Amino acid sequence: MPLRLNDRAPRSAQHPFDGTEALCALALGSLRQMYRPEQKRFAFRLRQAHPQAIVEGTSFRYTAIVVIGLARAPKDAVKVAIHGDTLENVCADLRDEAPRKRNLGDAALALWAAQVVAVPGREVIRRRLEELLSHEARPATVEAAWALTALCLEPESVDGGKLRDDVAQRLLDEFVERSGLFPHRLGGRGGGPRAHVACFADLVYPIQALAHYHKATGHSRPLEIAEMCAARMCASLGKDGQWWWHYDVRTGGVVEGYPVYAVHQDAMAPMALLDLEEAGGSAHREAIARGLSWLKAAPELDGGTLIDESAEVIWRKVARREPRKLTRRLQALASRAHPTIRVPGLNTVFPPGAVDYESRPYHAGWLLYAWLRAGQVE
């Protein structure tokens, strides 16, 4: 039976999104399955197998994301999800490993987790983050956005907010106003066949980071840019509520929609748009609700769902029935030749409907972050 947040239903006047309490309970149950207490890490993934699911690997990055989400959960639910351990212990272990990390995203998420848990000694993570930022000429947009969010959570007295402001400026400088999008990497797109392609994460995390930056500084331009990106994202939402996957940075058009990831539908899009709303930006609640509706009944699955209550898991995505990533490569090449060109007939040749029966713990982490906030789930 899935874990419950409490015995009370949320007040309808404050809770316009039906079913999110159940999703949060499901997320907690899936995390309980994926936690490895001997390593103080969450697994890389849970994969469907028979007679029971298989839990594979561990992930520093995913553990940090889960800590960020669990920091919003009731303490008794957290205790069950991490087998009686505490977030402070888990996060302290991340802190101790962070100085050896070579990946900007890992350091950024570790600092973010350390900030929300208030783990002592988190200055070592910040120093590592600063070192990595100084050596990254072309950081991934997602990782720069994570760094900005983490830095917005620290006291401005650390360095007068200089590092935070520098990261924010790098992000703001790369925004493409004519399309309303950010590129996949900052500091130049390069010349490869996918240089013009941004993914859904390249929209979500900058919106979130700039919303936090506006809250921290009061600067209006970051909020304006976050608003433009959110408007483009919502305008691109599929007719059945799908948050599509690849976009053309030059025009804002969708390059290839599939796969549609469950984490986009119930976690990443809601968390960014709700963070934007909390920062004083526009409300995009209809778009959020449409995304949740797709997850509950996907037309690609003949009205089926990725939500598996019996397994206490939400499966990863609905993809095309195709050789690995073929349609994404084809559409990237076609749109690279000209922004209006797309390969026709893909829905017939490679119809969507293949389910990826795995789950990764970061999905549950972001889901909890999205919905365990004032006025959403009690």
Distance CA 5, CA 28 (A): 9
Q: Which of 299-303, 325-329, 373-377 has the highest mean pLDDT?
A: 299-303
- Six-digit token string for 158: 């650390």
Say what the pLDDT of residue 189 is: 67
How many residues are listed for the chain in this entry?
378
CATH topology of domain 20-341+349-371: Glycosyltransferase (1.50.10)
Distance CA 371, CA 163 (A): 30
Which of 295, 351, 363, 311 minimizes the C-alpha distance to 327? 351
- Are the C-beta atoms of 297 and 303 separated by less than 8 Å? yes
Strands (E), the chain: 35-36, 41-42, 45-47, 54-56, 197-199, 246-248, 254-256, 260-261, 307-308, 313-314, 317-320, 352-356, 358-359
Q: What angle (nearest 5°) sits at the alpha carbon of residue 20, between those of residues 18 and 24?
A: 160
Say what the pLDDT of residue 225 is: 98
The mean pLDDT value for 146-165 works out to 92
- Are the C-beta atoms of 288 and 204 separated by less than 8 Å? no
Say what the pLDDT of residue 194 is: 84
Structure letter (DSSP) for residue 262: H
Q: What share of the chain is helix, strand, coil (3-state, %, to 5)?
A: 50, 10, 40
Mean pLDDT, all residues of the chain? 92
The mean pLDDT value for 313-317 works out to 98
Contacts of 236 (CB under 8 A, 6+ apart): 244, 247, 252, 253, 254
Asked if residue 241 has pLDDT above 70, the reply is yes
- Cis ω on the peptide bond leading into residue 16 (within 30° of 0)? no
pLDDT, tens digit, 9 for 90 and up, residues 330-339? 998 988 889 8
pTM: predicted TM-score of the whole model, two decimal places: 0.94
Every domain of the chain and the residues it spans: 20-341+349-371
pLDDT, tens digit, 9 for 90 and up, residues 51-105? 889 999 999 999 999 999 999 999 999 999 999 999 999 999 999 999 999 999 9
pLDDT, tens digit, 9 for 90 and up, residues 255-284? 999 999 999 999 999 999 999 999 999 999
Say what the pLDDT of residue 155 is: 84
- Are the C-beta atoms of 142 and 201 separated by less than 8 Å? yes
Beta strand pairing call for 54-56 and 45-47 = antiparallel
Band of pLDDT at residue 324, cut at 50, 70 and 90? confident
Say what the pLDDT of residue 110 is: 98
Distance CA 355, CA 364 (A): 18
